[in-house]
Structure 1
């Protein structure tokens, strides 16, 4: 660590620390928070030249306490006119953010697009933001390590900054806590932080939050990660050679879409992902044998995460290679076919109510027929009765509110451009409440059309879906 003094215009900022293990762009984000001068506008004079984003600190010969000069203009908010129309740029910053309809971008702190895209996609889940909001600085529960606690606090604070600012946010503290909790994200090559796999970042962050937000420190009404993202699977494990069969249960936070020459659509890839082969010792045969595991969903989450398994380890190049095959995915995903018989039975009534509700939108009267079969709460209705009623009444009498239907709507896509997971570029695409899509390319958000989102299915060198996030349609 070095401590320097920065002179900017008529102001002097003493005692600013430089972490020489991180690229200069990180130092520039620190100055941005102090001065309001965006990193791309900053000109910091060192050794008669200008500090570049990728300069090696060791080549500059900086000394502790040295004074540096910065040139650059800060973003200024124009005062609102007293009369006449009021434009977005004339509003206070917090009102501008609301008027724009989307949150701020995130500065790339040196190959951190994998992290930025992950944060933007998860930031689209309001229940997660509510859970984080209720998590206090002193809320560390039993069994939660300090690194997990501080990463959760950093996530909460970063989400808060995204909601309150129209200027790009520098997630420096979050990055530091992420690397402290998971050192693999601090890997360097030639003194430069390496690009990382966005799926690994997503998985580790969700796992950490599942440990902290479900602890006693979290408000019970905040919404737990298991309810939001957890998927319960029940599996049948069978060995054709020995005839052995067993069942297994597990809880995961994402479904895998396996890609092969037979897979052209997400539905097919999910089907492949739920049926796998494994090799293990057979007690009856006394040696290893091939087993088939067929899994079914036994409990669904409010938000369904789907990962496209596009990367595999290529021994020849000693890196993760990418499958470029085009795999289409829908705006509306129905996972009913992948559910266990038990779950299918629970979904039947809410699915019927949803279909009736959609019919009612067109002014059609809905014929609701009840039977002696149990509804999803286990209660029985009178046999043989039928009546015509308004769909709202049907919904109230058939099932409780907020029941899952097995149908999901796409709300976020994390894409990758390039040939390797540890290189290239990651971007988050997020659907807003008003239906429009925003492409979050680091610090540069831009509006996109829905048809552009469906073109991110692969088949070339353009951005292609790596993770899709779907929101449950409930009744």
Structure 2
């Protein structure tokens, strides 16, 4: 005799709406969760199904639930759109080619170490974190077979990034490395047998900062810029170069000497692509190290005095790029031992960087409105995120109370909210007003909700308010900065990439890169600030090995030992 189905019809309550769902104890928990998804639109990875004693886990034994017909389960989680029929034929993962798999899984490809090339691999992975660079490279037409070495290197970078985006496997940067060694022979230097751990006959380890600068120089020489937002559909920025737009700033230089009071100061300007962080015996954090590099003393001939004098050289930033690179000057030449040496000192760096102390007076004045507006918006968003988390915690508390009551046979067939019994309506559109009040804010409007302290906004109101805040920030930008494509208009940055060096030897060791793993959608952003506000994942690129790490691991890269220590940092503008 065939086995009778043990499936039962139960109730699932989500955001005040009661759904009829079939539960089959002989099937895995994932099947029940999928049935819930079909009804509620809450993806499986966001579902928190409350049962007696906690939440339903994916590996739970469904037979132990002893579910009864009509029993109510409480569900927490942010819903997405309900599933719809596929518009294209379904392709299963096992049937995908490498390119399709890379796009579907968003898997990041590592780079094969071709013999002491970790310095190059780590640099390439961090530069790949600049989406505008990818766009500019896609607009770059020349191939790799021309007579211009800089153009060939740029074309090789374009092809390398395209290949990395089409594979889930580690990729060997052979073409790029070959052209790099042609245009910059220093990177073809062979290792000496006296170098520890290197042996003779292979290529020598190189400095990641030197290859970073060399790549930017090649891009500056050949890669065209991007158009301003008002330039319509044009594909070039005229004669402007990409690096000049997005990765180069401008510094004003003032030189004066106290030894000749009558001598007028001299002024000049110069571009920069990297801000140096000098490290001395008193340097504890990055900002002070950068200020030390901007305020220097030098000796030079004074025409007024007719002799050499000590001059104060004060540098201040007069143009900020959208992407700011900082370099920790950890390697220096020790004359007493005639050897390159590494500074191991611990130097803290911020995830959020305010560069106001580095700026000229004129630029400080221009960025002030946008600077103040962004800080105000961030403060308001943090407060709203706290309200959302408090509301969520209260809902979870009430749902656990409901789950405990639903486990009582005497309460089967009823739905509860806040511990108060309420009859289940046969209408699936029925809502529980008590739970609704405990949930997100009412639809009184995002702007009005802001004037009600402590109230949690709905997802819709949160998105509307964020759009208004974005518009307010844009309106606060100084006209001169609004016209400057690729500049930073607020003086505020966030960390997105780090190149580290591991080991005590300056000419050896190992380079690794760390790149922030950005959220894929606004929905995920709202989910994160509600559930895990301090969680931020980063990719770790160790040549061909790619993994994810927490933000705490990035904090630990500030030095003080022979483990990986921050060497190059890439910041991008806050918007």
Identify whether the pair has TM-score above 0.5, normalized to the shorter chain.
Answer: yes
Report the counterpart of residue 423 of structure 1 in structure 2: 508
> Compared with structure 1, are the counterparts of its residues 130 and 392 closer, same or farther at alpha carbon in structure 2 (3 Å cutoff)?
closer
SS for the counterpart of 1:293 is strand
Residues 393 and 445 (structure 1), Cα distance of their counterparts in 2 relative to 1, 3 Å cut: closer
Give the secondary-structure state (helix, strand or coil) at the position aligned to 1:249.
strand
**For the Cα contact (< 8 Å) 1:278–1:292, is it kept in 2?**
yes
Counterparts of 1:433 and 1:459 in 2: how far apart (Å)? Answer: 29
Match of 2:530 in 1: none
State the alpha-carbon separation in 2 of the partners of residues 194 and 139 from structure 1: 25
C-alpha contact 2:225 2:242 (8 A) present in aligned 1? no
Question: How far off its partner does 1:90 sit?
Answer: 6.2
For residues 15-42 of structure 1, what are the alpha-carbon distances to aligned partners after superposition, in whole Å with 9 as ceiling and x for unaligned? xxxxxxxxxxxxxxxxxxxxxxxxxxxx
For structure 1, the 5+ residue unaligned runs are 1-84, 367-389
SS at match of 2:165: helix
Partners of 1:196 and 1:114 lie apart in 2 by 6
TM-score of the aligned structures, taking structure 2 as reference length? 0.59
C-alpha distance 396-452 of structure 1, shift in aligned 2 (>3 A): closer
Q: Counterpart in 1 of 2:157?
A: 155
The answer to whether the 8 Å contact 2:497/2:570 transfers is yes
Structure 1, 86-95 or 343-352: larger mean CA deviation: 86-95
Change (3 A) 1:165 1:315: same
1:312 and 2:332 aligned: yes
Higher relative contact order structure (alpha carbons within 8 Å, sequence separation ≥ 6): 2
Is contact 1:336–1:406 with CA below 8 Å preserved after alignment? yes
CA distance in 2, matches of 1:397, 1:412: 29
Once the 2 structures are TM-superposed, how far is the Cα of residue 139 of structure 1 from its aligned partner?
10
Separation in 2, partners of 1:346, 1:145: 44
The Cα of 1:267 is off from its aligned counterpart by 1.1
Query: Which residue matches 1:233?
Result: 251
1:356–1:149 Cα change, 3 Å: same
Higher helix share: 2
Aligned to 2:212: 202
Q: Give 1:278's aligned residue.
A: 298
Structure 1 residues 394 and 173, CA gap change in structure 2 (3 angstroms): closer
Pick the aligned partner of 2:140 from 135, 141, 149. Answer: 135
RMSD between superposed Cα atoms in Å: 2.7
- Are the aligned partners of 1:101 and 1:432 in contact in 2 as well (CA < 8 Å)? no
Partner-residue secondary structure (3-state), 2:490: strand
Q: CA deviation at 1:160?
A: 1.0
Mapping of residues 3-402 of structure 1, within 5 Å? 91-137=96-142, 146-189=148-191, 190-214=200-224, 219-220=236-237, 224-243=242-261, 244=263, 245-361=265-381, 362=384, 364-365=450-451, 391=469, 394-395=472-473, 397-399=475-477
Distance 1:392 1:175 in 2: 42
Q: Which one has a bigger Cα radius of gyration?
A: 2
Matches of 1:179 and 1:392, distance apart in 2: 45
Q: 1:100 to 1:303 in 2, by over 3 A?
A: same
- SS of 1:169's equivalent in the other structure is coil
Offset from partner CA, 1:116-151 (integer Å, 9 cap, x none): 0110110110101111111112599xxx96111111
Find the aligned partners of 1:290 and 1:102 in 2 and give their Cα distance: 55
Separation in 2 of the partners of 1:164 and 1:309? 36
Contact kept, 8 Å, 1:311 with 1:420, in 2: the verdict is no
Contact conserved, 1:404 with 1:473, CA < 8 A, in 2? no
Count of residue correspondences: 364
Q: Aligned equivalents of 1:195 and 1:215: distance in 2?
A: 32
Q: Does 1:454 align with 2:555?
A: yes
Q: Unmatched 5+ residue regions in structure 2?
A: 1-89, 192-199, 227-234, 385-448, 453-467, 520-535
In structure 1, the residue corresponding to 2:492 is in which secondary structure? strand
CA spacing shift, 1:466–1:246, aligned 2, 3 Å: same
- Secondary structure of the equivalent of 2:574? strand
Write the deviation string for residues 444-464 of structure 1: whole angstroms up to 9, x where unpaired.
111111110010000000000
For residue 82 of structure 1, what is the aligned residue in structure 2? none
1:470 is the counterpart of 2:475? no
